[in-house]
Structure 1
């Protein structure tokens, strides 16, 4: 079991090194990169099975016992998100392989594939890191790769967006490093399990200051309102396949880190007013923003911001039911948000447009794309019986069951945000698919922009992701049970702490 914990991360780094060595051989890149992600997914699946059998698994790297040295930990939350995330990253990788094979990649394969695999490795390490400093390192691995991916096929708009993204990311990283330094100065440790004991002994003012600093750090990285304005200005400028990765995982990694830090370092026995207010503000800011834009990538980016609020809502309730809903929503949203951006890539390839002013007639032009859009659009809107409906229902039940006025108010805001999301998705459907194509938009590009094999593979990948979203709904019972046990473990830090400090194997 000690080998399984670091294996998903190690395989991805190895794959990145191999693709860097083979960067001048494009055919090898298109074989090695998917193989590396597939091997990592298999390792993550085996790790999830081991966690299901044995519970929390901790490994001390380098033979140093905790709280010294590097600790990697896998529990039910991290194992679930590891499998879902790498699975989605594999699908996006295959989509990129197909698009590149069609001659429409617009980027240097020798740069894209190593950077993509390094980003995937960083995401994996975030879910496995057992101490604050290596959590910081994992974020930097992910972000350094994302800087490269953001500016592939550079244009003036893309470079400007990349500058905004880089500056904001570096600022949040500096704050993160400062938070780690202050935590170490106050406690003498950065190990999460060790901190779960030591932070409780700090003066209340010190705990509050540290808690707010970590909230700001992950609030910036996770695009929590009012710290979200950078995201809609940067994500839509990147290549669509890159935006799909960013939208699916970068903000979710920050929300995961916030959940981990809040439950281990700053546990509480009642709702968090600050988080619930921020959750409501994030829902409204994102969904209202989605109604004011015509570019579908910007619409999806604002929807992404709005739905970060749902995950924060579950954390803010600070109950087993609330965290269960947040975990369900994390798994659902990783899949569905990636699917929406890949569908938008198909739409852009078929019409050459992303503006709703010039889109139209897609339902007649491509019924396949229409179906592929409709299913995840209804899921992100929370329409039954989709995975989005199940995740939102769990959060609504948790909010109404809390018995506090603030929880009732935020539940009402969550319902309103769902209706606003449905309006935004209906607007895309009406203007982009249902109405005739505007005359001023001109004729759509020839269907032969991609090779037939490329088009088929891109469509197959999209179908697989759409099916993945449907499977979350079909297997909602087992997934909810897993999420419930993960939430219960989060609210009992002794489970995590004992596994790391007593059960970690050097």
Structure 2
């Protein structure tokens, strides 16, 4: 199965090259893109089965053994992220096909959209299989370069302005990441993550803390954690609906994935775990407070995206296998559900002519299918039983209860409150968009026919006045016919989100095994470095740390080399 590992990157890259060979031939490019993404989905599923049955796969590029060569590594976490990401990429692309067929690709120029989309997928996959920090950096840069193009498609003033902000922030993050790589290489003489597990442990604690914080800041910007998430609400909502959906689903999760790797492989005994719990709580609270004050649905979802990153940082900060398992399951859940919600909002915008709640209404009667397609993932993201959102949060709260620290208990309460506020914000948006009477183009609504209706209308007006619209809010646009392919793609993603609940038992069991693997870096180190791990690390080279029932390392009283 090892030869399959690089194919998850090579297939979309070759597909992008082939798409460029046929400029202007839309059907050919569509076929190439769909085929490439379908192959990546299949490869992800095969790799999930292979690593679960036989352990971590390591591909030594060019036959050069690690740490001297480039190692591509796939374990249970990598395989799951590859599969979920490929499913999202395929689902969103089918949605964009429907939009392009209906609108003539006005917002997604064929000559650049298809190959750029495949390059984005290649960058995401490369980041997930990177076995060294520099290859991880290359994966980030590939997906970021593609995202710069996608976020400015159409060339409107709003998109260019948002694109400039996104590019500047991304470049700052990349420079910080590259600087951190330089510091780590200067301190250890390597960038191979398996070898770094051994060598960073030999550094003074002050140097370890400095390197840890340098990586966390770089990855924190990419993951959009507080206070480094200021750029996201103004960047994502301005892009075309398919681009917004795939960005919201995937890009921040690549940052979270990088944080998991750095905290478990490079700094398994990190002293910043308590800081991560504080950051998680602030991200949860600040994000959801931004969401409940929004009038535009896209911005509302962008703030909930920030907020729910806090749940993932919560699990990482607990630094035990149960916390990692819950985080891994929650990442898979959130990628699917957040993407689905943005696709549903794309349908709302198309049918209603706007994403501002002030201009929507009456869609339950005029678009009942869209109402259902938004309602189901809304309940899921809000954590209503028995959906996967509830299962993921329950896993996090269970791990926190087992940890039994004041910080963990505090975050349990914050997490439960944020879940309720998420449901409140989304339910309010659904009610205003689908249940209340439609607002006409001149801003008027049907006159109330009773005292109760009049009172309800006044309260509604007061609530709308208290909410904040998008800075570049557009007037009502022309309502467009919604193609069946767009609805079908969204319905397919809703079905995948339901499958996360139906098959929650096997998937959570897989996530538990993945969490155990992540919590014990020695297994991956042994796979990558093999019999040379003692020679390459210094000391005994043994990374199989004894841990207590909370997952924290125990002081055995033994010195290295004994």
For the aligned pair, the TM-score class normalised by the smaller chain equals: over 0.9
Q: How much does 1:445 deviate?
A: 7.8
C-alpha distance in structure 1 between counterparts of 2:19 and 2:421, whole Å? 43
User: Is 2:228 the partner of 1:227?
Assistant: yes
Q: Structure 2 vs 1, CA of residues 340 and 503 (structure 1 numbering), >3 Å: closer, same or farther?
A: farther
C-alpha distance in structure 1 between counterparts of 2:270 and 2:244, whole Å? 38
What is aligned with 1:13? Answer: 13
C-alpha distance in structure 1 between counterparts of 2:28 and 2:304, whole Å? 37
TM normalised by structure 1 equals 0.97
1:281-300 paired onto structure 2 within 5 Å: 281-300=282-301
For residues 257-285 of structure 1, give each alpha carbon's deviation from its aligned partner in whole angstroms, at most 9, with x where no partner exists.
11011100101288811000000000011
C-alpha distance in structure 1 between counterparts of 2:516 and 2:395, whole Å? 15
* Greater RCO, CA 8 A, separation 6+: 1
Q: How much does 1:448 deviate?
A: 6.0
C-alpha distance in structure 2 between counterparts of 1:114 and 1:228, whole Å? 29
Q: How much does 1:449 deviate?
A: 3.2
Larger Rg over CA atoms: 2
Q: How much does 1:107 deviate?
A: 2.5
C-alpha distance in structure 1 between counterparts of 2:208 and 2:272, whole Å? 17
What is aligned with 2:430? Answer: 429
Number of aligned residues: 500
SS across alignment from 2:71: strand
For residues 192-236 of structure 1, give each alpha carbon's deviation from its aligned partner in whole angstroms, at most 9, with x where no partner exists.
000000000001000000001111011001000000000001111
What is aligned with 2:521? Answer: 493
Q: How much does 1:340 deviate?
A: 0.4
C-alpha distance in structure 2 between counterparts of 1:314 and 1:484, whole Å? 13
What is aligned with 1:84? Answer: 84
For residues 19-50 of structure 1, give each alpha carbon's deviation from its aligned partner in whole angstroms, at most 9, with x where no partner exists.
11112211111111111111111122222221
C-alpha distance in structure 2 between counterparts of 1:66 and 1:366, whole Å? 56
Q: How much does 1:59 deviate?
A: 0.9
TM normalised by structure 2 equals 0.87
C-alpha distance in structure 2 between counterparts of 1:104 and 1:291, whole Å? 36
Q: Structure 2 vs 1, CA of residues 448 and 195 (structure 1 numbering), >3 Å: closer, same or farther?
A: closer
Question: Does the aligned pair in 2 maintain the 1:270–1:317 contact within 8 Å?
Answer: no
Deviation beyond 4 Å, 4+ runs, structure 1: 441-448
For residues 113-156 of structure 1, give each alpha carbon's deviation from its aligned partner in whole angstroms, at most 9, with x where no partner exists.
11100000000011100000000000000000000001000111
What is aligned with 1:301? Answer: 302
C-alpha distance in structure 1 between counterparts of 2:507 and 2:354, whole Å? 38
SS across alignment from 1:357: helix
What is aligned with 1:107? Answer: 108
SS across alignment from 1:502: helix
What is aligned with 1:457? Answer: 485
Q: Structure 2 vs 1, CA of residues 104 and 283 (structure 1 numbering), >3 Å: closer, same or farther?
A: farther
User: Is 2:379 the partner of 1:351?
Assistant: no
Q: Select the residue among 500, 505, 518 that pairs with 1:477.
A: 505
1:111-260 paired onto structure 2 within 5 Å: 111-260=112-261
Question: Does the aligned pair in 2 maintain the 1:271–1:317 contact within 8 Å?
Answer: no
Unaligned runs of 5+ in 2: 446-475, 533-562
C-alpha distance in structure 2 between counterparts of 1:448 and 1:107, whole Å? 16
SS across alignment from 2:359: coil
Q: Structure 2 vs 1, CA of residues 98 and 502 (structure 1 numbering), >3 Å: closer, same or farther?
A: same
Question: Does the aligned pair in 2 maintain the 1:22–1:28 contact within 8 Å?
Answer: yes
Q: How much does 1:86 deviate?
A: 0.3
Q: Structure 2 vs 1, CA of residues 221 and 376 (structure 1 numbering), >3 Å: closer, same or farther?
A: same
Q: How much does 1:442 deviate?
A: 7.8
SS across alignment from 2:58: strand
C-alpha distance in structure 1 between counterparts of 2:421 and 2:428, whole Å? 11
Q: Structure 2 vs 1, CA of residues 201 and 270 (structure 1 numbering), >3 Å: closer, same or farther?
A: closer
Question: Does the aligned pair in 2 maintain the 1:270–1:318 contact within 8 Å?
Answer: no
Question: Does the aligned pair in 2 maintain the 1:120–1:142 contact within 8 Å?
Answer: yes
SS across alignment from 1:53: helix
